[in-house]
Structure formats: C-alpha cells, structure tokens
A = this chain, B = another copy of it.
C-alpha cells in the first residue's frame, strides 16, 4: 500500500526526534521525507549527524536522508516537532504560517486559546479549534499539541473515571524515567544510587494541562474543567516508563469493581477509525500485587497501552492506584503520531504532495 503523506520531523536528532524516526520507519500512512535539526547538523547524512541512542537499530531509510535546517518548505503534508520549548515557539509558528500542519511536543503553544491540546481517546472534538486558529494565522497550516508526557499517561487513566463517576480531586506523585529529561539525561553521578525530587516545570504542567484536556468546547475556546490536581515529580534511575502513584476523589463513589470495570471496558470514541497506532486496548488493569512495573510493562501495545494496578481504598481521598506508561512513545512521539492519524482520518490534513 502506498503511503499517502509526506512528513517532516523537527528536532529529528533529539530524544523525542529519534523516537519519531524509529516509529515512522514502517508507518502505513506517513513517509518521513525530511529530517530537520539545528544548524550544526545541517547537511550531514542523518546517521552521522545523530548520536543514535535507542535500543532499536537506526532505520535504514535514514541513511538516504540528509539533515536539513528547520525552515518551512514545500513538499511536506505535515511536520512532527520534537523541538525543545526554547526554540519550538517561533519555528513551529513559522511552519504553521507557511501552511504546514504541525504536531508539537513542546509546552510552548499548549495553553494557547485556539490550539488544541489533544489526547485522541479523550478530546478529539477539541480539534475544531483548528478552524479559528487557521483564521488567526491566515494559513492552511496550524498547530496541534501533545500534552506533557506525565499528563498524557495520567489523563488516560483518569478519562474513564471522569466519564463514569466525575473527577474532583487528584493527588499524584510521579517516578519519571531518565529519557524524559532528553538525551543524555542527568549526569550519572547525580542519579546513580539516588533520586532527584524535582523536575523543573513538570508539576505545573501536570496540574494545569488536564484541566484543558477535560475541558468543554464552547465556541472557539475550551472552558477548563474544574478540578484540583496536586502533583509532585521525581526523576529515578529507569531508562523509559513513567510510574504514577495516584489518589482520587470522585463525585460519585463507585465500588472497586466498578472502578476496574470502567478501565477494562473503556472504549474510546475514536475506536472505529482504524488508526494504525491506536492499540487494541489503550488501558489495561492488572490484579498482580506488584505490577505495573516500568521494565516489564512499558512496551505493552507497542508502548501505546498504559497499565493501571494496585487499586486500593485511600484513607484520605476515595481511591488510590498506580499508573504506568511509556514516556517517549505514548507520552511523546507515539502520542503525536496518533494525533496525526486522527487528523488524517478526519480529513484535517491533505495529502497534497503526491508521493512518487
């Protein structure tokens, strides 16, 4: 089958960028044709420009591509951005203004009024913000954003609870993997035999982004959901996979078996769209006492399934439980690709550039 869309990757040599490069190697719809990164890599073949650090070997197609500058150009139906927040703002806006849809992982545009902040299973209807954004930019291009990695994983776990029982309060403590800090991660002497109880900016993102994700579309903007989230974040010595310890207070207090059923029976609205990256189950629940665990569960559903476990009554709020998800797949590159698939299925991106 022919791949319909020609796509570019911004920040292709970085931690999230490499995941894009790897995950798109055999994607049925998207063909990566442009790998873009900062100036000093420009002009080199990708395998030379990039210090590849994933376990999976570097895909073959990369050797045919030369790293390009992050400049808008014809010939791209879509770009994925793994750029750091420091530079993402203007570059992503440039592409969108030029006419190219952008799926961004940076925090920069997430809370902008007419920029959708999307977890496809939860709030695909927020994509209708694109229309007003296009008008503002006076362009066919636009920006759609992927939430923070921990936010995506948390929000997915909360979605069935919100739908069935209503969320009021959430207290979450995260144990986050090294890859979330971007390659090469913290210094080894700082993290070996240690934990760092602080990730700059992370707690704020987890406390605010879900309010928009669970918010209500009203005309050209989102009315944030009213709920309280308290987050504390830790960097731990794990390569991939964020583990979250979560306590919740719900509007209606269900029985434990109803909680578990809500997760196990969860069927997102987009289930019928045949999106290639949507796992057969976005959420799984385990009854095994000492699971989920990062090393054993992060790759489930090709890294797109989150696992929940250890549901227990909470002596202060209603319930607590553990959530695990792959931070650079579900929480970043894989999540963005799923957003792009949703855009394609909804005809929000055009395969304007025929692939020869």
Chain A residues with CB under 8 Å of chain B are: 52-53, 55-57, 169-171, 173, 175, 178-179, 183-198, 200, 203, 207, 228-230, 232, 234, 236-239, 243, 245, 247, 249, 289-296, 299-300, 309-310, 312, 314-317, 320, 322
Residues of B within 8 A of A239 (CB): 189, 192-193
Q: Once bound together, how far apart are the Cα atoms of A257 and B118, in whole Å?
A: 39
Given A191-B188, A232-B322, the answer on whether A289 and B237 have CB atoms closer than 8 Å is no
**A229 lies within 8 A of B315 (CB):** yes
Question: Chain B residues with Cβ under 8 A from A293's Cβ?
Answer: 194-197
A169 to B317, CA, bound (A): 9
A346 to chain B minimum Cβ distance, whole angstroms, is: 32
Contact of A196 among B171, B185, B229, B290 (CB under 8 A): B290
Q: Which of B56, B173, B203, B296 contacts A53 (CB 8 A)?
A: B296
In contact, B55 and A309 (Cβ under 8 angstroms): no
Contact A247/B234 with A239-B189, A296-B55, A314-B171 known, Cβ cut-off 8 Å: no
Please state if A192 and B195 are interface contacts (CB–CB under 8 Å).
Answer: no
- Give A290's nearest chain B residue, CB to CB: B198
Whole-angstrom CA separation of A237 from B296 in the bound complex: 16
Name the contact of A228 in the complex, choosing from B192, B194, B200, B315 (C-beta under 8 A). Answer: B315
Q: Is the CB of B207 within 8 A of A230?
A: no
List chain B residues, Cβ under 8 A from A292: 197
Residue of B nearest to A190 (CB): B184
* CB of A194 to closest CB in B, whole Å: 4
C-alpha spacing A169/B315, complex, angstroms: 8
Residue pairs across A and B with Cβ atoms less than 8 A apart, 28 shown, are: A56-B299, A170-B316, A171-B247, A171-B317, A173-B232, A178-B188, A178-B189, A183-B187, A184-B189, A184-B190, A185-B187, A185-B189, A185-B192, A189-B239, A194-B293, A194-B295, A195-B238, A196-B293, A197-B243, A197-B290, A197-B322, A198-B290, A200-B289, A203-B312, A229-B315, A232-B320, A237-B237, A316-B317
**A243 closest partner in B (C-beta):** B195
> Closest CB-CB distance, A154 to chain B, in whole Å?
14
Shortest CB distance A58–B (Å)? 10
Q: From residue A119, how far is it (CB to closest CB) to chain B in Å?
A: 21
User: Which residues of chain B come closer than 8 Å to A295, judged between CB atoms?
Assistant: 55, 192-194
Distance of A42 Cα from B91 Cα, bound (Å): 38
- In the bound complex, CA of A311 to CA of B9 (Å): 36
Query: Is the CB–CB distance between A178 and B192 below 8 Å?
Result: yes
A198 to B289, CA, bound (A): 7
Chain B residues within 8 Å of A190, by CB: 53, 184-185, 188
Interchain CB contact under 8 A, A184 and B187: yes
Q: What are the residues of chain B within 8 A of A55 when measuring CB–CB?
A: 295-296, 299
Contact yes or no, B247 A243, CB < 8 A: no
Q: Which residue of B has the minimal Cβ distance to A323?
A: B197
A320 to B229: give the CA distance in the assembly, Å.
12
How far is A198 from B312 in the complex, measured between Cα atoms in Å?
12
Beyond A53-B190, A187-B188, 18 additional pairs, beta carbon < 8 A: A55-B299, A57-B300, A173-B173, A184-B186, A185-B187, A186-B188, A188-B188, A193-B237, A195-B238, A195-B243, A196-B290, A197-B290, A198-B310, A228-B315, A228-B316, A230-B314, A230-B317, A232-B310
